[in-house]
Amino acid sequence: MPSLRCLGLPVLAVVLAGCSDSGPPTPPPVTSTEIRNFDFGAAEWFDVTNSVTVKLVGGMSHPEAQMAPTAFGMVNRVLGPVVYTDVDADGDEDAAVGLTAEGGQTFNTAWHIWLWQDGRAVQLRQPIALADRCQGEIESVTAKPGAFSVTAVLRDEGDSCSASGSLPVSYEVSVQDGWPVRIRPEFGPVETCNPREQTEQVVPPGELQLRTWPDEKSPAVGEPIEPTSVFVDEVYVGRYFRTREDRDKQWVLVSAPLGEGRRVCGWARYPDVIPG
């Protein structure tokens, strides 16, 4: 006779997976937690906000001691608390860690995933959350099973450094084929399509394959679509390029209506979106 806990209520079936008539519940798979011993304050970081590599010692960079040229006068600091979960499903816990860059009037924050690979932590260069003094604020980065959860407030480009025009967002990020991708509330780019920014309606010349990053190799967002029109940031429209090659290399964040009020967000190649 099975215990009452194991009787088949469908809702409980998932929670109680492992219940059976014989023996104790199956234990969860063992996850390596070695990354918890890694010191992110004594590691080489890529500072994405200044596009430089910096070596941290004691939790911060020391610009005068850097071997390679760094962003002028910038000091980087690790920002925690570091949170851990296995985001690439290889059985090893991974981490999400913040890095600030401060100097003059500048203050940037970027949170990154570090994967545990071959006995060391490896930073993914694409950030999972970005903020600076005037645009946006990262409220929290927390760990869930298999994903990092970000809550943030986006502010409109061009706004003053006041809090006007703010848009609260929350999303969960995981790793697919080595790229950070948004998995909830819907699959797509980490970047948020902001209805206050993607306001310019354009008619793509043909089919569009949306991607999670401005890179042909990054994971696709669904199948190719053929929308009658899409929305992009007005700064992209009528932009001048020196050469056709410059234009063809450019990517644009697109918000595409799918009907019934639904939209899909993703990066597309500029010439696929804006004919010219």
Q: What are the helix and strand counts (H, E) for the chain? A: 3, 16
Joined together, the tokens standing for residue 53 give: 């590599």
Task: Note the residue count of the chain.
Answer: 276
The answer to whether residue 84 forms part of the interface with Ca ion (CB under 5 A) is no
**In whole angstroms, how close is the CB of 96 to Ca ion at the nearest point?**
12
**In whole angstroms, how close is the CB of 166 to Ca ion at the nearest point?**
34
Answer for the pair 267, 220: CB distance below 8 angstroms, yes or no.
Answer: no
Scan residues 217-276 and list those touching Ca ion (CB under 5 A).
Answer: none
Q: Which of 47, 92, 197, 272 binds Ca ion (CB under 5 A)?
A: 92
Give me the torsion for CA of 95, 193, 237, 217, rounded to 10°.
40
| Residue number with CB closer to Ca ion (88 or 233) | 88
| Residue number with CB closer to Ca ion (38 or 107) | 38
Give me the torsion for CA of 52, 81, 95, 172, rounded to 10°.
-100
| Residue number with CB closer to Ca ion (88 or 172) | 88
**In whole angstroms, how close is the CB of 115 to Ca ion at the nearest point?**
6
The answer to whether residue 94 forms part of the interface with Ca ion (CB under 5 A) is yes
The answer to whether residue 200 forms part of the interface with Ca ion (CB under 5 A) is no
What number of CA atoms fall less than 13 Å from residue 45's CA on the CB side? Answer: 34
Q: Which of 59, 66, 79, 90 binds Ca ion (CB under 5 A)?
A: 90
The region of 27-35, 39-47, 92-100, 248-256 touching Ca ion under the rule CB under 5 A is 92-100
Question: φ, ψ for residue 249 (rounded to 5)?
Answer: -80, -15
H-type alpha helices, 80-124: none
**In whole angstroms, how close is the CB of 117 to Ca ion at the nearest point?**
8
| Residue number with CB closer to Ca ion (33 or 201) | 33
Q: How far apart are CA 273 and CA 124, in angstroms?
A: 28
| Residue number with CB closer to Ca ion (86 or 233) | 86
The answer to whether residue 86 forms part of the interface with Ca ion (CB under 5 A) is yes
The answer to whether residue 88 forms part of the interface with Ca ion (CB under 5 A) is yes
The answer to whether residue 143 forms part of the interface with Ca ion (CB under 5 A) is no
Q: Kindly state the helix (H) or strand (E) to which residue 272 belongs, with its residue range.
A: helix 270-273
Q: How far apart are CA 55 and CA 45, in angstroms?
A: 6
Number of residues located near Ca ion, criterion CB under 5 A:
5
| Beta partners for residue 47, in sequence order | 52
What single-letter amino acid sits at 225? I
The region of 53-61, 78-86, 102-110, 204-212 touching Ca ion under the rule CB under 5 A is 78-86
Binding site for Ca ion (CB under 5 A): 86, 88, 90, 92, 94
